[in-house]
Structures are given as C-alpha cells and as structure tokens.
Amino acid sequence: PTGRATFVPADLIPAAERPDKEFPFVLITGRQLEHWHTGAMTRRAGVLDAIEPEPVASMHPDDLRQLKIKAGDVLTVASRRGSISLFARADAGTPRGAVFIPFAFYEAAANMLTNPVLDPFGKIPEFKYCAVKVTNGGERPGDPGYGKGRTLSELYG
C-alpha cells in the first residue's frame, strides 16, 4: 500500500425504466432549499412553510406550453405505479423532458411514483429517475401544512 487513493472507473448503468411513448417525461425527485427530506421538521417551521407551502412540479416553460398548462394550474403526474396531483411551476432551469418534484410533501408523495427496482451493486432503489406522463388538471392537493396531526398511515392506509 502506497497510502494513496486508488481511482477505479465506474460503468454507467442506464436506468431500469426509460421514457417511452406512454410515459414520455423523466421524473427527478429531490429536496428544496426550504424543506429537508419529508419536511417533518421544516414544514412545521412557519417561516419555511410560508415560503414553499404547496407541492409543485417544476417543468421547462416550453413543456408546459406544449401541454397547455399554465404555472399555478393543477396537473397530474402519473407513472406505472400511481399518480399525484400538484401545482405547475415554470422553471427554465429544469431540462426539457423532465419533471422535478420535491419529496417533502406528504399530500403529493413523489416517491409513490418512483421505480422500486434496486441498483445491482448498492441495492439502492431508483428514487431519482423514472418515466412519467403529465396531464392538465386533477384533484387539488390537500391543505398545506404538515399533516395537521395526521400520520402517513392515516393518509395512505
């Protein structure tokens, strides 16, 4: 041993589920600056929850225009595993063909859409990438605010 780190090239493995004709968009899930993980603490902080009180799906303005969806409209994002409704947000920083949804909102639980297939080496689910479709309309997301005393099992059985 030389005491030096050894770099080993990694093979890029494509995601198990890719966009197709039925599900043409890529769902990317992640965090928001204001809310950490599930929002269990940050959504209880009135200042932070006032900044980002509602679940949103960020899409490139061109994609929203093509779907005839305006920023602030309710839209539905569906995968092969389920669907959620949330508010549209136009974001030129979101790549065309992608939908970004933060996973801090129990009332629009983004990880319900993701692919549970495991990475063959790390055994980590593909929570960050799956194929989805986006449609205009849907049920307005529930009241903002963290759970109003309800648990996830009460909300989703």
Residues 6+ positions from 124 with CB-CB distance below 8 Å: 118
* Residue of higher predicted confidence among 17 and 52: 17
Question: Any idea what the Cα angle at residue 37 is, between residues 63 and 109, rounded to 5°?
Answer: 55
* Residue of higher predicted confidence among 117 and 149: 117
Instruction: Report d(CA 52, CA 118) in Å as an integer.
Output: 31
Residue 38 pLDDT:
62
Instruction: Report d(CA 56, CA 54) in Å as an integer.
Output: 6
* Residue 61, SS3 per DSSP: helix
Sorted by where each begins, the domain ranges of the chain are 25-143+150-156
* Residue of higher predicted confidence among 32 and 86: 86
pLDDT grade for 92, boundaries at 50, 70 and 90:
very high
Amino acid at 11: D
Residue 149 pLDDT:
45
pLDDT at residue 109 is higher than 50: yes
Q: Please name the helix (run of DSSP H) or strand (run of DSSP E) that holds residue 87, with its range, or none.
A: strand 82-90
From 1.20.1440.230, 2.40.40.20, 3.40.50.2300, 3.40.30.10, which CATH number describes the 25-143+150-156 domain?
2.40.40.20
Tens-digit pLDDT profile for residues 123-142: 888 877 899 999 999 988 77
pLDDT grade for 62, boundaries at 50, 70 and 90:
very high
Structure tokens that stand for 148 in this block? 């109003």
Query: What average pLDDT score do residues 6-16 get?
Result: 85
